[in-house]
């Protein structure tokens, strides 16, 4: 790198040579890891979900929690900063975020995020060639930006697991609204619907037009 390169030019060069589209090469590793550890990954996810629902059912028996209306799978940027792929699962009654009885468990999506963390560690070594124009703070910002791509992969995995989640003993035991939703997104932020309980009225309408 030229010593005359300014900060903006250095960042552009760094991004083009060491970051741009590199995440796509991680897809092969993620897919391979999932194939090799499929049973363990899926069981771990189901166990976390089952533990959440069992906790909610216990709180309902104690009278401190109402019917569950939403289960939220939260992407935690603070955990990404610590090279941890922790997701927070929360069960809320009709009070949503104002639900005063916390019901939460953690799940680790390491099989998806491990390549990201490794790449960022490698970038820490590469940055030395840029004469201090690329800092660890810059790499942290890159990691947060790139992490969204891996989060989207995690959401697709969660969607694929919904049929198994709905069969968990804890979910069946837990008291829940007829309109329960499973959602995924950043903590207390925008989210995507993983599952919404079908409305009987919608079923009848759809059937009539079939």
What is the model's pTM? 0.86
Using CA atoms, how far apart are residues 123 and 138, in angstroms rounded to an integer?
10
**Residue positions counted in the chain:** 210
Please give the average per-residue pLDDT across 78-89, as a whole number. Answer: 94
Task: Please give the pLDDT value at position 199.
Answer: 62
Of 99-103, 155-159, 164-168, 198-202, the one with minimum mean pLDDT is 198-202
Task: Please give the pLDDT value at position 140.
Answer: 94
Average model confidence (pLDDT) for the chain? 89
- Residue 149 three-state SS: helix
The Cβ-side half-sphere exposure at 151, using a 13 Å CA radius, reads 23
- Percent of residues, the chain, with pLDDT higher than 90: 71
Per-domain boundaries in the chain: 7-208
In this structure, the number of other CB atoms found within 10 A of the CB of residue 20 comes to: 10
Instruction: Locate 40 and state its tokens.
Output: 């363990």
Task: Please give the pLDDT value at position 39.
Answer: 97
Task: Please give the pLDDT value at position 202.
Answer: 46
Task: Express each pLDDT in 86-121 by its tens digit.
Answer: 999 999 999 877 878 899 999 999 999 999 999 999
Pairing of strands 68-75, 176-186: parallel
Task: Express each pLDDT in 15-73 by its tens digit.
Answer: 888 998 889 999 999 999 999 999 999 999 999 999 999 999 999 999 999 999 999 99
């Amino acid at each position: 790198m030229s010593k005359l390169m300014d900060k903006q030019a250095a960042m552009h060069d760094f991004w083009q040579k060491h970051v741009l589209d590199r995440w796509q090469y991680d897809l092969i590793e993620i897919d391979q890891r999932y194939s090799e550890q499929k049973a363990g990954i899926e069981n771990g996810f189901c166990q976390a979900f089952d533990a959440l629902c069992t906790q909610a059912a216990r709180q309902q028996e104690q009278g401190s929690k109402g019917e569950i209306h939403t289960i939220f799978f939260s992407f935690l940027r603070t955990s990404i900063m610590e090279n941890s792929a922790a997701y927070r699962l929360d069960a809320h009654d009709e009070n949503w975020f104002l639900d005063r009885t916390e019901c939460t468990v953690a799940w680790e999506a390491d099989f998806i995020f491990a390549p990201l963390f490794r790449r960022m560690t490698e970038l820490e070594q590469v940055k030395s060639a840029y004469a201090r124009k690329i800092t660890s703070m810059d790499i942290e910002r890159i990691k947060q930006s790139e992490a969204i791509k891996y989060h989207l992969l995690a959401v697709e995995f969660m969607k694929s697991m919904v049929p198994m989640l709905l069969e968990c003993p804890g979910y069946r035991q837990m008291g829940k609204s007829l309109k329960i939703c499973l959602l995924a997104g950043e903590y207390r932020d925008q989210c995507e619907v993983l599952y919404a309980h079908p409305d009987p009225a919608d079923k009848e309408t759809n059937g009539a037009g079939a």
